[in-house]
Every structure is written in structure tokens, then in C-alpha cells.
Structure 1
Amino acid sequence: MKNLKKLALASAVAALTIGGTAVAEDVIRFATWNGEENLEIQYEIAKLFEAENPGVKVQVESYADGYDKKLIAAFGAGSPPDVMYMWNYPKYYKSLLPLDDLMARDAEEMNLSDIPAALINTTRIDGKAYGMPAGFTTHVVFYNKDMFAAAGVEEPKEGWTWADLREKAAKFRDKEGKTYGIAVSAKPDPFDFEQFLWSNGTRFISQDGKTIDGFMNSPEAVEVLDMFAEMARNEEAVLVGVGENSSSSALFKGGKIAMFQSAMWSKAGIEAAGINYGVAHLPSFGDKPVHSSVPASAMSVAKDGKNLELAWKYVKFFSSPAAVKLRTNDLPIRTSVAEELNMTSDPVFKPFFDILAVSDRETNAFLKHENWGKIQTNLERAIEATMLGKGDAKTNLDDAVARSARHLN
């Protein structure tokens, strides 16, 4: 309520009049991690907002590859941007404005029911939302239609399982030609890897963020890690991330693997490589429900900003249908926009939205504990050791849990 009172007192637009001409006095600063690529989209959205709000100027600040360094420096100097792109809430949330009261106040105006809950959940710390979703992806399996046809292998179908994937992958194994069904990484990003644990009925850390024993090293977690290690040993998959092996992306674009588990960020490169591809849902573990991690960008507001009401107004505009349609580099956060663009029925895009609808029940581990980074280091070692055949999954995950105990206090 304190923040709402501050918002109510803030002036939305202030202008000086000189000789009958209004001079813009309200400027909001928006920090983006976009560099040259996609930066023009940010300028288009800013200009559209300015056109609808005379007397207001949006200053787009491109921090590009130095995003975190520049953002930390700005907060440290007491001069943060009013609005900023955000994903790392554990690092910044104490300096950000919780948005729940504002979203509740403007829920009807914003048509919040049009934005999937799974996206807003990616911004929550201790139950509070610190960002308004801007763009997202879920995970899918890209597959090479020409390779499937040449090998006489049936293309993936909705409802397929990891057993189905492994059976198909084995049919592409050609050691002499260095061709395989799929690639698995010795060093997967735990942020994305946790989706496989969710799909097998477990997670890295308890929902309350207090316990990893019985979760990270649970039988279900062991089964997942053992499965991927076994796929590499059996050469159903080629192991990447070690030695001279190329990346999964490069192998798929080079026609050396028939399937590629990835996300929206890989689509443009696959198309540029001229691959005749299809998109399949993530496979399931038997009859258990499938989940995906949801990498998402969002718009956050600095809690000590000079004009909170105007900053929030820009955040709202950024999530409006008009602005969402301009963001062609992301999947649209609004269901209505996705439907209008026929994405929810297009076979290439449909799997991304299908799995989003059932991926709102889990929260990534990094959002649950302030020391997750230290715990994750032990987890990464356990995963890599298992993938390289240095011990079994159970032993390595038990070791990670034991080493991480002191970080939970």
C-alpha cells in the first residue's frame, strides 16, 4: 500500500509551456540487454508509447553484453533506470518494485487473464511478482524430416515417450559417418535440465526452498541422469560439451544428428541452415505429465525510481497487444495475439504453446534459495561426472547433496 500511495502522488506527465509550446519534462529510462540485434524493436515500442503519451520521452539505454555490470553500477550509484529487462530476480529483487498490487489494481484494463500464469510465475520471489512478462520460450524437440524419411523412421507423434525417442535415435547411429539420433551434453545448464526432473515427478530442491536431500538425489532424479548417461554410452546419442565434439546446434544444422532438444532461440539458425525440420513436444517419462522450463524476459521497475506511475504505465504498455505484436523476436506472451497470428495451430509453433499451458506448477531452483549458485556448482560436478562415466548417478548426486548441506543454513 505504501508504494501505491507513492504512485498516487506521482505526476504522470509534467510539462513546461514556453511560447505556447509544450516541452517534454517527463523522461523514463528503459534499460535493455539488446545490442544491435532487435534493438530497433525497442525503439519502435518507445515511439509508439510516446505518440500515445504526449510530453513523455522514453530513453532507451542499450547495455548489450555488459548488461549486468552496467545495471549493478547504476543501482550502486543510486541512479538506476526506471524500467529494465529482468530475469535474475534473486540478484536484484530487493531493488525492484513488487508489482502484485498494481497488477490487481489494473487487472481488468490489462486483461491479465490473457497472459499465462506460467509466465508471471517466472518473476516471483517469496510469492511476489517483480516483473511483467515480455517474451518467452518453452522447450521442444526439433527433428530433421529428411533424415527421418531417408532412414525410414516414423516422425515423432504427440504423446511420445523417452523410450520412443531412444528407440528412434538408435536407428540413426552411424559411427563411421559420425551420425547419431540426438546429442546429450556433459555439462547441461541446470536451469533447463530441471525440466526433466519435473517431468519425472521430482525437482532439485523442495518447493519451500529448504531441502535438497530426497529431491536432488531422489530415485526419480537418479533415473533421469542415468538415462542420459546411458544414451551416450549406448551411442543412441553423441556426447557434446567435452573434447572435440561440436555443439548440439552445429551438429543438427550440419545434418549429423536427427533430433535436437532446444528452444525458440534455435529456430532462426535452423532455418538459415536450410534444414527441412519439424517440431515435436518434449517426450514424457511413461504416463507422467511433461513439464518445460520457461526461460522468459520481463519488465521490472526500480523501486526508488523518480516516477513510478509513469514507469508502471510503460510496463503495462509493453505488455499490450500492440507492443507484443511488434516483438517478433519472441513468442507472444498474450494468448490472444498467439491465436490471432495462428501460432497455436501452426505445427511449428503449437508445441511451444501446448507445453506452456501445463508448465505453471513448478518453479526453477534458482528462485527458491539465495545460495543456489553455490549448490548448483556441486550439482554441475555431479552431472558432468556421471555423463563422463566417473561414477553412477546415485553416488554423484548423493555427494552433491552432502557437499551442499552447509549452503542451506
Structure 2
Amino acid sequence: MKKKIKLAMIGMTAVLFGLTACGNKQEATSKGGKTTIRFASWDTADDVDAQQKLVDKFNEEHPDIQVVLEAYGSDFDTKISASMGSGDAPDVMYMWNYPAYHEGLEPLDSYIEKEGEDYKKNFYSTLWNYNSYDGQIYGLPVGFTTHCVYYNKDLFEQAGVEAPKGDWTWEDLKEKAKVIYEKTGVKGFSFSMKPDPYDYEMYLWSNGTAYCGKDGKMEGYVDSDKALETYKMFQDMEKDGYAVATEKSGGDEFQAGQTGMFVYGAWAVKKYTEEGVNFGLAKLPSFGSEKSASILSSSGVAIAKSSKNKEAAWEFVKFWTSEESNKTRIGTEFPVLMSVVESEKILEKPEYAPFYEMLDQSGEYTPASFIMDKWSEVSEKLELAFEEMYNPSSLMDVKEAIASVLN
């Protein structure tokens, strides 16, 4: 699974017009009957090597199209913004921040429609929410992760605690965390004292609320009784001593055996497996009356609106998201096609199944970042409010802390 993509909104008003595009620039033009397509990736090292092999395969199978891979790595957003500003964007690019970039992207609805009804239905429907903006699809899903609870099997056994069940609640999690702490002296649960606001909204969804309504207004949502109850639940676990707020996600502490549970995406599965950590995975707990829901970190591939070879670009996009490509990326990306999940028996694998279960029950939610025009400003305020709530040196009253977000 790809590294975590933190949704930090980059407004298109900040694009530096007049800058030349970065990377291995090649004109997308036709020469000798061959159309050149530039493809921008955010990956590095081994991932890029694997991508190049797929690109080479496409080029071999399409003698009339030549795809050139441009690896932007950590400079991806800077280079994409600059290239869009100068009118020289790559024909095809990885994409995640559709609210920021949609004006420079080609809507794909008509392309998808031409492929037939079954084509779109083969993708998990929840993923379209994260590859669309304002009612239009701008990207085809490539990979995703939801969030689940990682739990330390050794600590659970040592404390005599039963493994989480599929229908468990936050009350169940708290009880297990307390027993682990009492029996082993190890904190039963850990969470970030400065959580990513994009991720944190899933807890509000699970408790029947959100940061804002469909109109983007926050009053009555981010400060609702349900929201305050959610913020306070985490703070109370910390105050009661059996949970700890950590500098990061809690993953380092979990790997070191210093915490019994924490919530994270699939990025740690491969690492913990290779390191020999004896861990299990469970769906996010519910608040009892509502089913739990997860935020998604989703990657897609998009076509630049400025591309002069959109049909050729679409052929490559279809290849990059095909069954063959999905299968090739298993182990680094979760397959997004239901046909591949079925044929490869993905749901029979305990390290994959809970993430897909969370995907199935999270389809009705749209992140505030896709709704609010000023999400970047709101996100910064939320981040500060969360730190005031959960930093052990402050532990500010949650109602007082969240009030600052509405000012």
C-alpha cells in the first residue's frame, strides 16, 4: 500500500503561472504515427521501477502510443501545480486532491459511459466519492485504504482479553484497553494528540454527525452534542490513564509492544508482518446505535484538460486500472476491482478483509474537504483544537477548544 497521503489542500490560486513544467518534459505530439503520452507518478525507488515495467508492457502492446513515465516523487504537488499553471501538464497523472486540481482535469464521465454499465460497476462504488468533485468524475481509482484497529495478540493473550469481534463498540474497546493496562501495565490504546483532521472526521460519522452539513456550514455539526461526545471520549480515555496520546499515529509504540491497540490504514501491514509483530486487525468499533465508518485515502489516475491526445491518454488510463494491472500491484495497493478481489480471494486474507469491510460500510459519506471551500483554513484550526484537547500538558475542555474553529 502506498504511503499515507495527507490531504493538505493546495489552492489553484497559488499556482505560479509562467513557471515551466518540471520533470522529463516531452511534448505530447504525434511523430511518425506514434503518439507520446506523459505520465506523472508520485512514487519513488522500487515502486517507480515496478511502474516502469507496466508502462513498458503498455508500450509493447500499443505500437501507436508511447508513454513516458515522469517520477516526481515528493515534489509531485509542486510540479503538477507549476505545470498546470504554465499550460504544460502531463497528459496522465496520479491524483488525490480533486478539490484543488479539478479545474485542470478532464471530466471522465463520458469516457466511462462509453465503456458500458458493467465497466463502472466493477469498481467499488465508495471509491467514486473520492475520485469525483461537484458531481463529476475526474479520476479512475487505482488503490485505497480504509482504517482499522490494529491489536497486539500477545498483549491480549497476556491480559486474558478476548480478540475484537466484528460487531464490537467503543465501550468494548475501552473495556479491553482498561484490562490490558491493569494486567500488563501497558497502555491499552494509543491515538495521536494532533490527529489529521481529514482522518478524524470518520469518528464523527460513526457517531452520527460530521464537521459540516451538505451546504458546508459547520455550526450544529462540528460543535454538536454527538461531536463533543466523540472528542471527549478520547480525552477521557487519556485522563483515565489506560490510553495515551502520542506524537504521531501510535504505530511506533505499537510495534515496540508499548500499546495494545491503535487505529491506522493498511500502510503498516507489510512492515509489521516483515518485523514479526504478532498483530490482528479489526473493523472500527461502533458507538452502538450507528455503524462505524472510515475515511478513505484513495489514489486515482486523471487526464489533464490541456492534453492534446485525450483518447490515447484514456487508453493508458484504462490499462493502468485494468484487472491485469490491479493484480500486478497486489501487495503494494489494494485491488479496486471487485472481479480481482473475487478471483484472487482477497477477502479470505485476514490482513485485507477488515479494510474491505470498512469500505463497504463507508460509502454514504463525503469528507468535509470535498464540501468546504475553505477547508485548508478549517483544517488548520481543527488541528490546533485537537492538540489543545489531547496534549497532556493542556487537556482543554473540548467545547472550549472546538469553539475556536467557528471563530
1:360 aligns with 2:366: no
Partner of 1:89: 98
Report the secondary structure of 1:38's partner residue. helix
Matched AA of 2:334: L
Q: 2:151 corresponds to which residue?
A: 143
- The answer to whether the Cα contact below 8 Å between 2:109 and 2:137 also exists between their aligned partners in 1 is yes
- In terms of mean alpha carbon deviation, does 287-296 or 98-107 score higher? 98-107
Distance 2:49 2:351 in 1: 26
Between the aligned partners of 1:379 and 1:181, the Cα distance in structure 2 is 26
Asked whether 1:239 is paired with 2:233, we answer no
Residue number in structure 2 paired with 1:290 = 292
Aligned to 2:133: 125
Q: 2:165 matched to which residue of 1?
A: 157
> 2:185, 2:86 → 1: CA distance?
54
1:229 shift after superposition: 0.6
Find the partner of 2:253 among 251, 263, 287: 251
Q: CA deviation at 1:355?
A: 1.3
Conserved in 2, the CA contact under 8 Å of 1:201 and 1:220? yes
| 1:348 CA displacement | 2.1
Alpha-carbon separation, structure 2, partners of 1:381 and 1:228? 16
SS in 1 for 2:180: coil
Name the SS of the counterpart of 2:181 in structure 1.
coil
Note the C-alpha offset of 1:272. 2.4
Q: 2:347 aligns with which of 344, 347, 351?
A: 344
Aligned 8 A contact 2:152 2:280 in 1? yes
2:46 & 2:245 partners in 1: Cα distance?
A: 31
Q: 2:56 aligns with which of 29, 47, 50?
A: 47
CA distance, structure 2, for counterparts of residue 247 and residue 296 of structure 1: 19
RMSD: 1.8
Secondary structure, aligned partner of 1:266: helix
Give the match for residue 379 of structure 1: 382
CA shift in 2, pair 1:247/1:218, >3 Å: closer
- For residue 106 of structure 1, report the CA deviation from its aligned partner: 1.5
Deviation beyond 4 Å, 4+ runs, structure 1 = 12-15
What is residue 394 of structure 1 aligned with on the other side?
399
User: Could you tell me how far apart the structure 2 residues matched to 1:196 and 1:37 are?
Assistant: 35
In 2, Cα distance between equivalents of 1:181 and 1:391: 23
Match 1:72 to one of 69, 72, 81: 81
Match of 1:200 among 207, 220, 237: 207
1:303 maps to 305
C-alpha distance in 1, partners of 2:381/2:185? Answer: 32
- Matches of 1:90 and 1:174 in 2, distance apart? 46
Say if 1:196 and 1:224, in contact at 8 Å, map to a contact too: yes
Query: Matches of 2:281 and 2:326 in 1, distance apart?
Result: 23
Deviation at 1:370, TM superposition (A): 2.1
Match in the other structure for 2:317:
315
Secondary structure of the structure 2 residue equivalent to 1:283: coil
Deviations 1:266-304 (A, max 9, x none): 111211221111111110001311111011000011001
Identity percentage over the alignment? 37
Aligned length: 377
Question: Among residues 167, 176, 186, which one is paired with 1:168 in the alignment?
Answer: 176
Find the structure with the greater CA-based Rg. 1
- Give the letter for the 2:301 counterpart: M
Aligned to 1:406: none
Q: How many angstroms does 1:38 deviate by?
A: 1.1
Residue 287 of structure 2 aligns to a residue whose secondary structure is coil
Q: Deviation at 1:199?
A: 0.5
3-state SS in 2 of match to 1:298: strand
Q: Is the 8 A contact 2:206 2:293 kept in 1?
A: yes
Unaligned runs of 5+ in 2: 1-27
Give 1:26's aligned residue. 35
8 Å Cα contact 2:34/2:64 also seen in 1: yes
Q: Does the CA contact (< 8 Å) of 1:116 and 1:334 recur in 2? A: yes
Q: Provide the residue aligned with 2:219 in structure 1.
A: 213
1:25 offset after TM fit, Å? 2.6
- Distance (whole Å) between structure 2 residues aligned to residue 25 and residue 152 of structure 1: 66
8 Å Cα contact 1:184/1:232 also seen in 2 = no
Cα distance in structure 2, aligned partners of 1:146 and 1:386: 31
| 8 A Cα contact 2:389 2:401, kept in partner | yes
In 2, distance between residues paired with 1:119 and 1:71?
A: 23
Structure 1: segments with no counterpart, 5+ residues: 1-11, 17-23, 404-409
Match of 1:180 in 2: 187
Shift of 1:14: 5.7
AA aligned to 1:335 is M
2: CA distance between counterparts of 1:107 and 1:194? Answer: 35
State the AA in 2 paired with 1:101.
S
* 1:133–1:296 contact (8 Å) kept in structure 2: yes
**Aligned partner of residue 154 in structure 1, secondary structure:** coil
Structure 2 Cα separation of the partners of residues 375 and 255 of structure 1: 35
Alignment deviations for residues 333-380 of structure 1 (CA, whole Å, 9 cap, x no partner): 011111222111222211111111111101111111221111121222
Alpha-carbon distance in structure 1 between the residues aligned to 2:375 and 2:154: 42
Q: Please report how far the alpha carbon of residue 150 of structure 1 lies from its aligned counterpart in structure 2 after TM superposition.
A: 1.4
Residues 1:225 and 2:231 are matched in the alignment? yes
Residues 191 and 249 of structure 2 are in contact (CA less than 8 Å); yes or no, is this contact kept in structure 1? no
Where does residue 5 of structure 1 map in the other structure?
A: none
2:62 maps to a residue whose letter is N
- The one-letter code sitting in structure 1 at the alignment partner of 2:266 is M
For 1:261-276, what aligned pairs fall within 5 Å after superposition?
261-276=263-278
How far did 1:218 drift?
0.8
Give, in whole Å, the separation in 2 of the partners of 1:256 and 1:380: 25
Q: TM-score, normalised by structure 1?
A: 0.88
Question: In the alignment, what sits opposite 1:189?
Answer: 196
Residues 72-119 of structure 1: CA deviation (Å, up to 9, x unaligned): 1212222110000011112211100111121112234x7211111110
